[in-house]
Structure 1
Amino acid sequence: MAGLRKMKKYNWKDSNMALFGSDLERQVKKASALGEPAWKEAGTKPGLQIWRIVKFQVTEWPKEDYGKFFNGDSYIILNTYTEGGSADLKYDVHFWIGSESSQDEYGTAAYKTVELDTFLDDKAVQHREVQGFESELFRSYFKSLVTMEGGAETGFRHVEPTKYKTRLLQVFGKGANLTIREVPLNKKSLNSDDVFILDAGTTVWQFNGNNASPFEKARSMEFLQNIEGERAGHAKGEVVDEHSISEAHQFYSYLADEDEEGADEVDIGGEKKLFSVCDASGKTEFKELKTGGITKEDLGSDDVFLFDSCEQIFVWIGKNASPAEKRNGMTYAHNHCMKTNRPFLPIHVVKEGRNYASLDIALSA
């Protein structure tokens, strides 16, 4: 739903993507993809696969940590699946950008995502995901989405509890679709509608807000028990309820009074817009075509189109679009986002002939 959203100041906003989509990039991409060790087993069978970018390299992310991401890192996520009893494999490939991920990591994740699609013979739908503004499709892959401060080197497993950095986690969401994210370690982060987990290493508290849902409470308890198990009995869990806990409780001693800094409210409302990427004139041009009242009939086969729904960006690749138009779709979407007050929007690259429910819903809304 459009409206005011909290947006942190992302370090990756001015990332240089000049090479992304260039002739040189396309020429080396297939050879590079075939030589990338990480893609050896990529997309060979249905399921989820996740890699983290480490110093320009694609490294496998442990399966036990699927759904857990650090804001200082960038990741590539591949979902392989089948439909309607067919044996044909289909793919969605996402790159996820942590709010503190470096420009190098962001650029490498973007490049390697396109490379993976090339390795999969251009059969994947490509997606860009930004921390805190992930698409519903991305969230659907995980029982809960956990985001933590720092990079993977800081760790959240196999750490001595007495040396553990105290963290406050918020558990929130609708129904069973929940997110767990790290929030500032202060009292003003708390509210009555959600559950919070205060992880102090040797003791882990579950704070149940007065209006928290049963799903939030149950998932928090499961998460708390997982922490206890990972620390081999060196951490003890305790549940406290907002209505019965006093200000003198040890739980509050870990929380400061300061409010969060660096977060601005951004209005993501506005009118839907349609743009085209066309090189019929001899040079590739990006121009606005239409505002409001956009339907699927506006998406032709001869060009690449960018549909800004205000909440998501869709890049439509027409089947007869030129090679230059096709390879620049993500770049134009990225650059378009950077010129708006909504650089965090999810981006989806959809090829004509491939049904994509989110695009149909956005067009009909």
Structure 2
Amino acid sequence: MASLRKPKEYDWEDSNVADIGSAMDRGVKTKFPSHSLPRREGMAGLVKAKDYDWKDSNMELFGSSKDRQVKKESAMTEKCWEPVGRATSPFLMVWRVNQFTLEPVPSDEIGNFYNGDSYVICKATRSPGGDKLLYNVHFWIGKHSTADEYGTAAYKTVELDTFLDDAAVQHREVEGYESQLFKSYFDKLVILKGGYASGFRHVKPDEYRPRLLRFCKEGKTTYMRQVAFSKQSVHSGDVFILDLGSRAYQFNGSTCSAFEKSSAAAFLQDLESKRNGRCNTSVLDEADTPQDHEFWTALPDVPVKELEPPKEVIKSLYKLSDSSGKLELTIVSEGSASKHDIKPDDVYIILTKEGLFVYIGKGCSVLEKRNALSNAHKFLQTCPNPFLPITVVTDEQAESFLKGIWDE
């Protein structure tokens, strides 16, 4: 059998991220330059209403002084933050949004994400001197998460930072476009279909809807993603598990890696255990799997929707300032970014192919600080890739996060 072609992996066919962050911008009259990056072409026919529409979120007070006071008061009564406040050693904690509230993810399920939900993640590490903890707080948006869910995740992320007295670095992560930092937290990152809003529940083996899982190693992290249930999703470069409920097959592509095989085997063993032996499992190699095997016959030969990859972004540096009496975003440089152009009195947006970074100068105004994150969301709507990770850093945090970004 000839090697199976690997399909394109841009599978946001049912998502609408064109307006992600827009509700955070309501009431924020920021003037964006006419020469900013052009809006994306060809997206209109690729979106589904209600997915990723921040206009449906109640974010009116996001970033205001009243908002911060409310967050501080709310943070002190949020039970989910209690273990964060008690911790004296490094940790990784994850919470899942369920109807405007957070639910702790059990330790044995950390690394598992449902694409119909949104999550808040807090990673604490020891400072170089060892005298304190350093915090990174992320909110992760599944591609089918509802507006209420990711609005809650964003709000709770800022609330947790407020609880930590603004000591955390804030991040936004979008499914499939996670930052390297985020991926480094997990040995295996599992992305499954479903979520609270879609009626996710645990069911018996015989009630499982057939699913196809793909195992792919990216850097030091092994991804497990639920992919389209089709022969055309399968290719030679990765490992796949066909889960039929009472039967499951591990299919090793001819050029897959040992890490992918090992990760899939561990998942298969765990699957069998959780179903109390009511799931028969088999391991198949591509070269030894005939076309009439159930692995192939159970999969329909239907097209897998493919999207063009996002356009490459051009590294650029922008300044967000209210020196004119209203917030305005102006371009400083395009094609490069120099730290010598950074002044402590303003907020800067640094656009790179790895992500968008917001630098908050220690001397910037209250208005500039309040709207830095919301304007980062708004800015990304004008970019070729609106899914880029966002990182917001203060002057004190900039050295460790921005040192590899500057061109000089």
TM-score category (smaller protein): over 0.9
CA gap of 1:298–1:49, structure 2 versus 1, over 3 A, is same
Does residue 32 of structure 2 align to residue 14 of structure 1? Answer: no
- Say whether residues 1:73 and 2:117 are aligned partners: yes
Work out the CA distance in 2 between the residues paired with 1:235 and 1:208: 19
Q: C-alpha separation between the residues in 2 aligned to 1:260 and 1:358?
A: 38
CA deviation after TM superposition for structure 1 residue 297, in Å: 2.3
Q: Which residue of structure 1 lines up, in the alignment, with residue 32 of structure 2?
A: none
Q: Encode CA deviations 1:207-257: one digit per residue, 9 max, x unaligned.
A: 100000111111111111111122221122210011110110011122111
Counterpart for residue 242 of structure 1: 286
Does structure 2 conserve the Cα–Cα contact (< 8 Å) formed by 1:350 and 1:356? no
- Distance in 2 (alpha carbons) for counterparts of 1:128 and 1:165: 31
- Tell me how far apart the structure 1 counterparts of residues 74 and 267 of structure 2 sit (CA, whole Å): 39
Question: Within 5 A, what are the aligned runs for 1:318-337?
Answer: 318-337=361-380
Q: Distance in 2 between matches of 1:226 and 1:85?
A: 40
TM-score, with length taken from structure 2: 0.83
Say whether 1:39 aligns with 2:81.
Answer: yes
Q: Distance in 2 between matches of 1:362 and 1:343?
A: 19
Q: How far is 1:356 from its partner?
A: 5.6
Paired AA for residue 361 in structure 1: G
Distance 1:7 1:335, change over 3 A: farther
Q: Contact between 2:68 and 2:162, CA under 8 Å: does it hold in 1?
A: no
Q: Does the Cα contact within 8 Å between 1:13 and 1:338 map onto a contact in 2?
A: no
Higher relative contact order (CA 8 A, sep 6+): 2
Counterpart selection for 1:103 from 137, 147, 150: 147
Secondary structure at the aligned position of 2:158 is classed as helix
Alpha-carbon separation, structure 1, partners of 2:244 and 2:405: 43
Are 1:361 and 2:404 counterparts?
A: yes
Deviation at residue 5 of structure 1 after TM alignment: 6.8
User: Which runs of structure 2 are paired with 1:59-208 in the superposition (5 Å)?
Assistant: 59-152=103-196, 153-155=199-201, 159-174=203-218, 176-208=220-252
Q: Which amino acid aligns with 1:284?
A: L
Asked if residue 254 in structure 1 is aligned to residue 298 in structure 2, the reply is yes
Contact 1:175 1:215 in 2 (8 A): no
* Contact 1:276/1:287 (8 A) holds in 2: yes
**Partner Cα separation in structure 2 for residue 176 and residue 325 of structure 1:** 37
The one-letter code sitting in structure 2 at the alignment partner of 1:31 is E
Stretch deviating more after TM superposition (20-29 or 98-107): 20-29
SS at match of 1:310: coil
**Does the CA contact (< 8 Å) of 1:14 and 1:338 recur in 2?**
no
Q: What's the secondary structure of 1:35's corresponding residue?
A: coil
Kept after mapping to 2: 8 A contact 1:203/1:237? yes
Equivalent-residue separation in structure 1 for 2:205 and 2:326 (angstroms): 60
Task: Give the counterpart of 2:311 among 243, 268, 273.
Answer: 268
Find the partner of 1:24 among 59, 62, 66. 66
Give CA deviations for 1:151-204 in whole Å, capped at 9, x if unaligned: 15524xx53100112111111124542111110000000111111111111112
Letter paired with 2:359: W
Amino acid of the residue matched to residue 269 of structure 1? E
TM-score, L = length of structure 1: 0.93
- Please tell me whether the aligned partners of residues 230 and 302 of structure 2 are also in contact (alpha carbons under 8 angstroms): yes
Identify the residue that residue 346 of structure 2 maps to in structure 1. Answer: 303
- Distance change >3 Å, CA 340–CA 225, structure 1 → 2: same
Aligned length: 359
> Structure 1 pair 293/127, CA: closer, same or farther in 2 (3 Å)?
same
Question: Does the CA contact (< 8 Å) of 2:52 and 2:145 recur in 1?
Answer: no
Name the counterpart of 1:344. 387
1:357, CA displacement in angstroms? Answer: 4.6
Contact 1:303–1:325 (CA<8 Å) still a contact in 2? yes
Instruction: Verify the 8 A CA contact 1:70 1:147 in the aligned structure 2.
Output: yes
Distance 1:214 1:89 in 2: 36
Mapped to 2, the partners of 1:226 and 1:180 lie a distance apart of 14
Q: Retained in 1: the 8 A contact 2:99–2:149?
A: yes
Gap change, CA 1:236 and 1:175, over 3 Å in 2: farther
1:364 & 1:178 partners in 2: Cα distance? 31
Distance 1:277 1:196 in 2: 46
Whole-angstrom distance in 2 between the partners of 1:336 and 1:175: 29
Please say which of residues 251-260 and 102-111 is displaced more in the overlay: 251-260
CA separation of 1:241 and 1:361: change in aligned 2, threshold 3 A: same
Does the CA-based 8 Å contact 2:187-2:221 persist in structure 1? yes
Deviation of the 1:361 alpha carbon: 2.2
Q: For residues 23 and 284 of structure 1, do their structure 2 counterparts lie closer, same or farther at Cα, with a shift above 3 Å needed? A: farther
Cα separation, 1, equivalents of 2:233 and 2:61: 41
Q: Percent identity?
A: 43
